[in-house]
Amino acid sequence: MKGSVIWLLAVVVLIILGGVLWRRARHRRPYVIGEQMAQALRAEQLRLSQSKVGPSPLPANLHYDRSLGDLDISDPVKSLLDDELSALCRRFATSDPSGRARLRGSASLDDFYTLLSFSRRSAVFAMRDRRAEHIVDGLTAIAMIEPDRIDVRDALVALSLLHHAARVIGANPEDLFGTAAALAEPRMSQLILGFLKRPEDERDIQKSWGYTAVETKAGLGFLGWGIESYQPTYPLDQIGLALAQLMRGDKYQPTDVTLASNLPAVWLSSIDDGVLKQALTSVRAVVTINGNLRPQESPDYQSQTLIIFLAELSDETAAGSLFQLSEKKRNRPNDFAMVGAKEGRLFCLAVERSFMAGKAPFETPVTMRRFSTGVAEALKRYVQK
């Protein structure tokens, strides 16, 4: 269960965010979404066909739980699994080459994605307590991985976050990456060292890797970063985190908050598209908060998703126009449920739907009303500051 959830998550996230992350990356050759994971799965099947496959070196009774938010790197909470993986990384680093090869060969594709999650979390912990040991552990986790059995772009994202964290705390990325590369097998070693040789823009988490660092209540964390214009006058990152917290207090687990995203016209279309088009020209910035229904809420929880769009407009009239469109559309027959809210120049739209064909949304226009008060209060707190 642990493994399948983790690698399936990687595939889903890649599909959803592929356009955001990889259109911005300056790779020398084109990638096809899904191609890299398909190759990794074939390599994993080849490993499993071998006669001697050792037991996984990762703890069997611990895993990162997406439904509990363990894969969110805006505000991760240290867990027992983090400690166990840190100890494993240090055991790997002190092993001889043959011992490292055995550990690497006995780890599954699912294990590798657990290690990648650990490495991303380690970057956040390093920025918060300013300890380079977290970066060392995160890089060692990547050194344990065979690049043929992952989508290497996932490793590059983790490397970018660790590189950023090293700079934040004043550590030397070249030394840290060089030490990790010495522990890796040749292809992963080349990937780690190659990251250091990239131009500055291609190492920048915001310009090339779809993330940005923001201050949360618990300290620095990472939020997603899209490709749209982002010129807010309100602290939309903080409002987005507040809306994620509102989601967390309901039936949904937020999975990511992305700045510099967009408000797709499709959600408000077919009412008065002329008014909609005009209002959208006034958008200054958008934040998107994605969340998944928790398992205990419905047998169909895996297909149910809640998306909250937070938009700052140039004027209150445009925000009001979007709100009026949302009010008119939410009571029409749709394959989704929605509710809008407005405060000053801020407009917020919450949409719940199933992404599986033929599956009805978990929410209805009536049940979605419960979000109205909390969203309005969150917007009002910041508008009145």
Contacts of 44 (CB under 8 A, 6+ apart): 108, 109, 149
Domain boundaries, the chain: 2-208, 228-383
- Comparing CA positions, the residue from 255, 256, 6 lying closest to residue 115 is 6
Class of residue 351 by CB neighbours under 10 A (exposed 0-12, middle 13-18, buried 19+): buried
- Comparing CA positions, the residue from 267, 270, 208, 215 lying closest to residue 240 is 215
Radius of gyration of the chain from its Cα atoms, rounded to whole angstroms: 22
CA 62, 68, 74, 75 dihedral sign is negative
Residues 326, 339: Cα–Cα separation, whole Å: 7
Residues (pLDDT < 70) of the chain are 1-33, 51, 385
Instruction: Specify the amino acid at residue 242.
Output: A
- Comparing CA positions, the residue from 67, 77, 96, 60 lying closest to residue 8 is 67
Taking residue 173's Cβ as centre, other Cβ atoms within 10 Å add up to 19
pLDDT of residue 214: 97
Helical (H) or strand (E) element with 231: none
- β-bridge pairing 252-259 and 219-225: parallel
Contacts of 164 (CB under 8 A, 6+ apart): 123, 205, 213
At 151, phi and psi to the nearest 5?
Answer: -80, 115
Residues 100, 256: Cα–Cα separation, whole Å: 34
Tell me if residue 306 falls in helix, strand or coil: strand
Fold type of domain 228-383: Protein Transport Mog1p; Chain A (3.40.1000)
Taking residue 45's Cβ as centre, other Cβ atoms within 10 Å add up to 11
pLDDT of residue 228: 97
Residues 21, 263: Cα–Cα separation, whole Å: 18
At 213, phi and psi to the nearest 5?
Answer: -90, 135
Residues 8, 45: Cα–Cα separation, whole Å: 16
Specify whether the backbone of 210 is left (phi greater than 0), alpha (psi in -120 to 50) or beta: left
At 261, phi and psi to the nearest 5?
Answer: -100, -160
- Comparing CA positions, the residue from 383, 83, 92, 62 lying closest to residue 233 is 383
Residues 316, 310: Cα–Cα separation, whole Å: 14
pLDDT of residue 384: 75
pLDDT of residue 53: 83
Q: What is the pLDDT of residues 283-313, one digit of tens each?
A: 999 999 999 999 999 999 999 999 999 999 9
CB 348 within 8 A of CB 375: yes
Q: What is the pLDDT of residues 190-211, one digit of tens each?
A: 999 999 999 999 999 999 999 9
